[in-house]
Chains A and B, each alone.
Chain A
Amino acid sequence: MPLTIRLTISGRSYDAAEGVPRELQLGDGTTVDDALAELAGQLKNGSVLPDTCLVALGGAHLGTIAEHEPRSLRDGDELVIIAPVAGG
C-alpha cells in the first residue's frame, strides 16, 4: 500500500530543492534511505544536498545524510532535512 510522507527542507537548500513537492508518494516498506534517493533524483539540475545535512524523522534526530540510523517510513511521517548553518 503506498504511503505519503511530508518533506521539510531548510532554507539553505531551497535552490537545490526548488520544484520538489512538499509531499512524497512512496511505496510500502520504504525506508529513509529510499526517500533520500527519491529526493536526490528530484533535485534541480543534478544538485546534491550536502552529506552533512541533519536528517530527522518524526522529530527524532537520525544523524546526517552521510551517516544515519536506518528507519522504515510510515504514512504521514515528516522527514526533515536541515543543511548546517553557521551564520553569526
Chain B
Amino acid sequence: MLTDDELQRYSRQIGPGVLSRQGQERLRESSVLVTRAGGMGGPAALALTTAGVGRIVLAHGGRMITPDLNRQILGSEATVGEFRAPHFADYLRSMNRYVEVEPLDHEPDDDEALEIAARVDAVLSCPPTFDERLRLSRAAVDTSTPLIDAAQWGMMGTLIVVDPSRTACLRCVYPQEPPFEELFPVVGAISAAIGSLAALEAIKILSGCGEPIFGKMLMYDGFRGRASQIDLRRDPQCPVCGDAR
C-alpha cells in the first residue's frame, strides 16, 4: 500500500496512459540490476529511481575519469578520480528516499550475474563489451528474468528487449561475438535518450502497465534523425535459449 507521501510524489505518473496505482505498487515491490551505470545505465538508473522502483543493484567498477563527464550524469567533476559505484548510489538515494540502492564496485562474473539475475525482476544491460552483454543475456535466460539491452555508438543507439525463452536473446541476434571497440565515439545526449528508453521498458515490464517491445530491436539514428524497429528472429538452435539447449 502506497503512503500518502508516496502517492503525492508519484501523482504525475499515476492515471490513464501512465501507471495504475497497482502498477506503481508493483514497481515499489520490484528490483532491477543495472550494469553498468555509465552513459546509458546512469540515466536509466536515475529514471528508475525517480519512478519509484523499490531496489536497484548498481554495478560499475573503476574510477570516474574526465572523459566520462560528457555522459555519466550520476558523477560530477567533484567525483573524478573516485570509485563510481558508491558515489552514484549516494546520488540516487538523494533523489528518492523510498528506493534502496545496492552498489557493486565491479562488474558481475558468470556466477554473480546468475545469482543477481535470480533475485531481481529485470536486468538492464548497458556494458561496453559484447562479452558482458552476452553474459547478462545468458543469466537472464537461465533465470527467466526479462532483459533490456541498451547500446550506443556516436549519435545512434539500439535497444533490445528480451522475454526469456519466448523471444530472441542476444545470442540469437549476435551468433558471433562482434569485436570490442574500446574508445568508441559518443554524444551524451544519445546515451541519455537510449538509457531513458531502456528504463521506460523496465518500468512497463515491472508495473504491468503499457506494452513492452519484447522481441524487438529499436534503433534510433540521431545523426540522420531516423528510427527503425525490427522484429527479431529467435533462433530455435540457439545454444543459450534454443529448444535444443
Interchain Cβ contacts within 8 Å, total number: 100
CA distance A54 to B172 in the complex (A): 11
CA distance A51 to B174 in the complex (A): 10
Residue-wise, chain A 47-88 has the 8 Å CB interface mask toward B (1 for contact) of 000111010100111111011010000000000101111111
Chain B residues in 8 Å Cβ range of A63 = 233
Which among B32-40, B46-54, B76-84, B93-101 touches the partner chain? B32-40
Question: A residues 30-54 with Cβ under 8 Å of B?
Answer: 50-52, 54
Interchain CB contact under 8 A, A87 and B219: no
What distance in Å separates the Cβ of A53 from its nearest Cβ neighbour in chain B?
A: 9
Residue A10 lies at the interface, judged by CB distance under 8 Å to chain B: yes
Size of the chain B interface, CB-CB below 8 angstroms: 42
Interchain CB contact under 8 A, A56 and B230: yes
> Which residue of chain A has its CB nearest to the CB of B150?
A88
Q: Given A63-B233, A84-B178, A85-B156, decide whether A8 and B128 contact each other with a Cβ distance below 8 A.
A: no
Question: A residues 4-47 with Cβ under 8 Å of B?
Answer: 8, 10-12, 14
Interchain CB contact under 8 A, A61 and B39: no
CA distance A12 to B152 in the complex (A): 10
Interchain CB contact under 8 A, A62 and B228: no
Interchain CB contact under 8 A, A60 and B156: no
Interchain CB contact under 8 A, A59 and B230: yes
Contact of A86 among B133, B155, B175, B231 (CB under 8 A): B133
Interchain CB contact under 8 A, B217 and A86: no
Interchain CB contact under 8 A, A84 and B174: yes
> Which residue of chain B has its CB nearest to the CB of A78?
B228
Interchain CB contact under 8 A, A88 and B41: yes
Looking at B128, B179, B230, the one whose CB has the most chain A CB atoms below 10 A away is B230
Q: Given A61-B232, A61-B233, decide whether A88 and B126 contact each other with a Cβ distance below 8 A.
A: yes
Interchain CB contact under 8 A, B128 and A88: yes
Interchain CB contact under 8 A, B168 and A61: yes
Interchain CB contact under 8 A, A82 and B158: yes
Chain B residues in 8 Å Cβ range of A80 = 219, 228, 230
26 contacts between A and B (CB under 8 A): A10-B156, A11-B153, A11-B223, A14-B154, A14-B223, A50-B179, A59-B230, A59-B231, A60-B230, A60-B233, A61-B173, A61-B232, A64-B174, A67-B175, A69-B233, A82-B219, A84-B174, A85-B156, A86-B127, A86-B128, A86-B130, A86-B133, A86-B178, A86-B180, A88-B39, A88-B129
